[in-house]
A and B are shown apart, each in its own frame.
Chain A
Amino acid sequence: MSQTNRLSSGGLIDRRKPLSFQYNGKQYQGYEGDTLASALLANGVDIIGRSFKYSRPRGIVAAGAEEPNAVMQIGASEATQIPNVRATQQALYEGLVSSATNGWPNVDFDVMSYVGKIGGKMMPPGFYYKTFMWPQTMWPTYEKYIRKAAGLGRSSTMKDPDQYDTLNHHCDVMIVGAGPTGLAAARAAAATGARVIIADEQEMFGGSLLSSRELINGKPAIDWVRTVVDELSANPDVVMLPRSTVNGYHDHNFVTIHERRADHIGDRAPVGMTRQRMHRVRAHWVVLATGAQERPLVFAHNDVPGVMLASAVTTYIERFGVVPGNELVLMTSNDDAYLTALSWASTGRKVVAVVDSRAKADGDLVKQVIDKGIRVIFGSAVYDVDGGTRVKAARISGLTADGKKLTGKSETLSCDTIASSGGWSPVVHLSCHTGSRPVWDDNIIGFVPGETQQKQLIAGGIRGHYDLLDCLTEGMNCGYVAAERSGYGPVGKRPEYKVARIRRSPAMPLFLVPHLKPISQAPKQFVDLQNDVTSAGIELATREGFESIEHVKRYTAMGFGTDQGKLGNINGMAITAQVLGKSIAETGTTVFRPNYTPITFGAIAGRNCGELFDAKRYSAMQPWHEENGALFEDVGQWKRPWYFPKSGETMQQSLNREVLAVRNSVGILDASTLGKIDIQGKDAREFLARVYTNAWAKLGVGKCRYGLMCKEDGMVFDDGVTSCLAENHFLMTTTTGGAARVLEWLELYHQTEWPELEVYMTSVTDHWATMTISGPNSRKLLAQLTDDIDLDKDTFKFMDWRPGTVAGVPARVFRISFTGELSYEINVSANHGLQVWKKLMEVGKQYDITPYGTETMHVLRAEKGFIIVGQDTDSTLTPYDLGMGWAVAPTKPFSFIGKRGMAREDAVKPNRKQLVGLMAKKPDVVIPEGSQAVANPNQPIPMTMLGHITSSYYSATLGRSIAMGLIRGGLDRMGETVYYPQADGSVIEAEICSPVFYDPKGDRQNV
């Protein structure tokens, strides 16, 4: 298909580089430098989508981020699908595959449009709130169809093959927008030596100058752009980011930029190239040079393909060499849009008329148009459009001076394109992200940024200053000011810009062009094209009481599309104000929030998924665990061996084997992950006494003690063994998951409550490899590996520790036990861990030493009734509730943390839940963990629950199941029966007992 709308010369495209692409299954050609939108227009494609609610045919309206209609599905393969790409922001590349997102069977012939035509009147805003209620049971069915009709493009169903990353920057001056203002600012700031970042969402720098015919210093503007770009490129302190949207402006001058590095080559990007990158910028000063977007006028049938923004038409002609039609009617309320008529006329195609809502205008551009012999109709407006799938004619009529009513006769102007302009709306979005509200300015007929807390300067179009010379000058000044405030400059000689000023006649505030009929009866006048919001819809919303602009927005869905109302919101606010009889300033605006334009999830996630989602921590013995077939359990960030299955074993068989090995001979556990905090200082002992519930005053060097920690509320939050290494030196252990939390908590108390205590704490978790050998043969094993530690049972007692050498390596050996067996916890420096572990395995062979994991450890400790904080406790249990009053020393002189809390009314009331042992009446039944106990399983629901099972296992040692759990008043209810109703309807009967199931006197650990 030929490019019927392409000019033979002009524009910034490269006609020597044709590109073929696919749209809706058909092949087309465009050129390098095209966007998908300009290429489609060049090929005369009118319909590029169907509207959301009424399925009306829609065409391309704009040339940038404000495009509401041309929202495409892109991607040549399933894995590379991208939904909702704005064709106006997608660079064309060879082989690009695109399709429209709505329409069945296709966009040119869409069955839903008939539903829209017939049912459209039945679908005013909020219609779904008023219907689909009867019968109640039918709602899921109604909703299924509503959902089917919703959504634009589709997500890929596969894992994203592309890579994304993140870059952090600091800079002195961050410039947003590389149009004339931004470039002038960058040039100025860079000249001072400041570090500058300049970002622009377009493919190339230049902004409005890319489609301008103005001269700067006597030369075409594009030449100036190229000069400045070259100059900035040569400066090592300037980072230039084209194809990069500043999507968010956050507190304390933090700016996020979404750079699209490979989207302009799409599926053709080389393997491994980062597709997109998020820049996280902390800037001293930010210069917003975001310019302005043109506002269309709202009139009946203004959504027919061929109705476009005036400035977009100019852009397509001047930048892309594409004339999107043959016969133009230009409708405007201001001088700037006359440029469109001049551009169009210069291509040799026909300008039918310029329809100007103002009674008169005599600015330079107006004069030029009139001089060219183009018909200009003042005091008139296009109020309706003929045509279904393409504009056929514009209906015009006279307009009263206030723009509220049509007057005089109507006239029909035959044409295929209607360009409209209601003036400019400054792009204030970013200035609002940190909570600043924009302010309405009658002079420029638009919102400008309000006051802000940020170190932010604004220049050019965002202030409503549109004259090129003003933009260059303001940009330059802001660049210098920002640099100076960041500590650079001043610069002596400033460049001078010579630009011929264009004299403009005053614009007219016009938003909605009235129709012959009142709003409610006129044909649809679209405000938000993507969401099919009409002026009648807005009027209806206010009629029903939705008068706040936020209510209007939410009731009509105005501005909720992927264009976020860039095109329609101001018109919507103006129409709301009009129907309420208020001013726009009174009506106000909704709040703009990030993002400025949508950004890819993958880009925000960056590399932080999969392996890098969270750090993985391994002990020094990890290679051995992996070689020996361990399965792993996630505990915090750690990967801990869960158990070590042998081939052919079920999990239970593995656990039984591991448990019995410990009870009968010797097992070995990697305990390196337990938190270890080194505590020193002359007040270390006093400090321990304050943070633990039990006493520490008399713990001698070489001794270890178990301790419980509570929060101020008296509830247990961590536990562990602390050893006295020297008079003023202790080693504290914590739970694996609680290590960091405990250290921060200790620091908090030391630094804020008791700074007078001389105590120092540091984490040494990673410094040590810890292996626990446990079982009756553990002493014999250890004896074979050390010759400088006296292992005699009466000198190296239970709860002692000794320094020495194990397997030829300096070690600390702690005789503590979490299994109830004779146990030694051997600590060596992490670097020696693997070697010592292997040695233990080698020498231990004669005892059939058996590695065991966390699950076996859990069974072993449960047999002994030892708690695991976080499993047997939640944050609601005092030490007394756990039957661990022995670990509380209420007579300590200092009121330790938790003491007062555990004395509160609720903490001492009778019948609290308490931790007990539970034995199922059927010894082979393991009560599922989490099961709730009841006294009577036949009571009606809701049942009165007594507490839940916290730990439950099959104990190979005892040859039966065991469990620990909470029971209301449980410590006084030994021997009573409770019932555990299960999801399948069965009930498990169990007897309350002591949680110490095995060796209650502790003989085995004291041998």
Chain B
Amino acid sequence: MEKYSALGLLKHSLSNHENWPRLWHNPTPKKKYDIIIVGGGGHGLATAYYLAKNHGITNVAVLEKGWLGGGNTARNTTIVRSNYLWDESARLYEHALKLWEGLSQDLNYNVMFSQRGVYHLCHTLQDIRDNERLVSANRLNGIDNEMIDAEQLQREIPLLDCSRNTRFPVLGASVQRRAGNARHDAVAWGYARAAAALGVDLIQQCEVVDMVIENGAITGVKTRQHGVIKADRVGCVAAGNSGVLAKMAGFELPVESHPLQALVSEPIKPVLDTVVMSNHVHGYMSQSDKGDLVIGAGIDSWVGYGQRGSYSIIEHTIQAIVEMFPAVSRVRMNRQWGGIVDTCPDACPIITATPVRNLFFNCGWGTGGFKATPGSGHVFAETLALGKAAPLAEPFSMFRFHSGALIDEHGAAAVAH
């Protein structure tokens, strides 16, 4: 892998950029792999990378039915944070956040991870109580988080209306200052390049249409384009389509796929240097390096695979944004789009062995998958390498929905991401 650097850029500019190597190739799939990862989004590519790097398993294929990083990796609002309430999830997301902190250097690819802080607004006394609880739990878990009052919040975010004139005045906020944003596409590309360099086969335009299961164990997958490809173990990381894959393997998941919409404004000069989210008025916003205001909308209540949702959701979101940031009323919304999120009843992911031996699933990240990308990949790689749940993944088994050991993060996840 050619190392990227400013000097390299200068060198290549002298030859008119004609000699840049490919980030990845388009290999013909082998007949058999040690491990097949179904889904070439951020999580799948990260899984492949850590399998190769940390576990020395390089006979790995990532099968992607479309283009790398083309699912929710390409459609989210890029927020990264780890301030989750329960120990199990806090540890998982903090593990991810720590990996984010050195990711650009690790991948030699600038994923533009920017720790500009994430604020959770409190509009009611119960919001304050919930956030105090969260902050206390985070601190004792070694995760930074702090409460600030409305006056300090107003000083830190001039654009936010912290007056008493709003329908639900802001009473305060919790803020995780190590949280922030990253460049979503770059994460997929960076992992893809690094994984490919370690020998992983990235196979695009390769759709899995069936699972090959013999005596209760998976032995391979059937693909639309390349027939059966065999594997010792298979890991499915296909947000938005997990239910479809599970059906192929003959079981159901406690997961429903819903449209989740997002939108951006036209690019404007910097007005907001952080991420602000409000569960109560249902909106959150940040500003990208390009100048777009990046806004997350709510989730539609029905199952939908169409990558689009209802306009009323967009309306409510914009109302919330204008309510919170009245000065942006005259700014214009440029684009909206939708992703498909796999939601779990407890707003926590599933990283799990399944009723089928050697078949593992990593899904159900709901609205919050992007932030977990490195952690999810890291933990799932370990799970696939071990053939059983990695320690951090243990609480996230699909079988928790039988025993009742749920990890209810609705409070911390809510609209939030």
Contacts and interface: CB of A to CB of B under 8 A. Distances in A.
Interface stretch (A2-10, A291-299, A603-611): A603-611
B404 A520 contact: no
A611 B288 CA distance: 30
Interface in A155-206: 155-160, 162
B141 A942 contact: yes
Contacts of A930: 129-136
B403 A545 contact: no
Interface string A747-786: 0000000000000000000000000000000000000000
A948 B131 CA distance: 12
Nearest to B125: A633
A520 B22 contact: no
Contact of B129 (A540, A929, A932, A942): A929
How extensive is the interface on chain A, given as a class?
A: 35 or more
B297 to A, nearest CB: 11
B327 interface: yes
A928 B128 CA distance: 11
A599 interface: yes
A239 to B, nearest CB: 20
A493 B348 CA distance: 65
Interface string B122-149: 0111101111111111011110001100
A598 B333 contact: yes
A823 interface: no
B165 interface: yes
A88 interface: no
Nearest to A550: B67
A981 B311 CA distance: 46
B335 interface: yes
B104 to A, nearest CB: 5
A128 interface: yes
Contacts of B24: 545
A506 interface: no
A945 B185 CA distance: 38
B110 A613 contact: no
A81 B327 CA distance: 10
A901 B326 CA distance: 46
A594 B336 contact: yes
Contacts of A613: 166-168, 281, 319-320, 323
A932 B133 contact: yes
A722 interface: no
B308 to A, nearest CB: 6
A598 B332 CA distance: 5
A436 to B, nearest CB: 11
Interface stretch (B10-18, B44-52, B236-244): B10-18
A152 B291 contact: yes
Contacts of A981: 139-140
B266 A83 contact: yes
Nearest to B167: A613
A604 B67 contact: no
Given A84-B332, A598-B332, A143 B114 contact: yes
Contacts of A702: none
Contact of A129 (B137, B158, B159, B190): B190
B267 interface: yes
Interface stretch (B1-9, B351-359, B362-370, B372-380): B1-9
Contact of B266 (A160, A548, A562, A932): A562
Contacts of A551: 67-68
A894 interface: no
A634 B74 CA distance: 38
Interface string A606-629: 101111011010000000000000
Nearest to A902: B404
Given A131-B6, A634-B123, A610 B165 contact: yes
B16 A155 contact: no
Contact of A250 (B109, B310, B331): B310
A933 to B, nearest CB: 9
A728 to B, nearest CB: 35
Nearest to A78: B327
Sort A-B residue pairs by CB-CB distance and give the 8 closest, nearest first: A930-B132, A151-B291, A160-B329, A930-B133, A598-B332, A906-B404, A602-B329, A548-B67
19 contacts: A122-B10, A133-B5, A148-B270, A153-B266, A154-B268, A157-B158, A250-B310, A435-B306, A520-B18, A543-B20, A544-B21, A548-B204, A557-B290, A600-B330, A634-B168, A870-B126, A906-B406, A929-B128, A932-B136
Interface of A: 80-84, 121-122, 124, 127-134, 136, 139-140, 143, 146-148, 150-160, 162, 248, 250-251, 254, 256, 280, 433-435, 520-521, 536, 540, 543-548, 550-551, 554-555, 557, 560, 562, 564, 593-595, 598-602, 604-606, 608-611, 613-614, 616, 633-635, 713-714, 870-871, 874-876, 901, 904-907, 928-932, 934, 941-943, 945, 948, 950, 981, 983
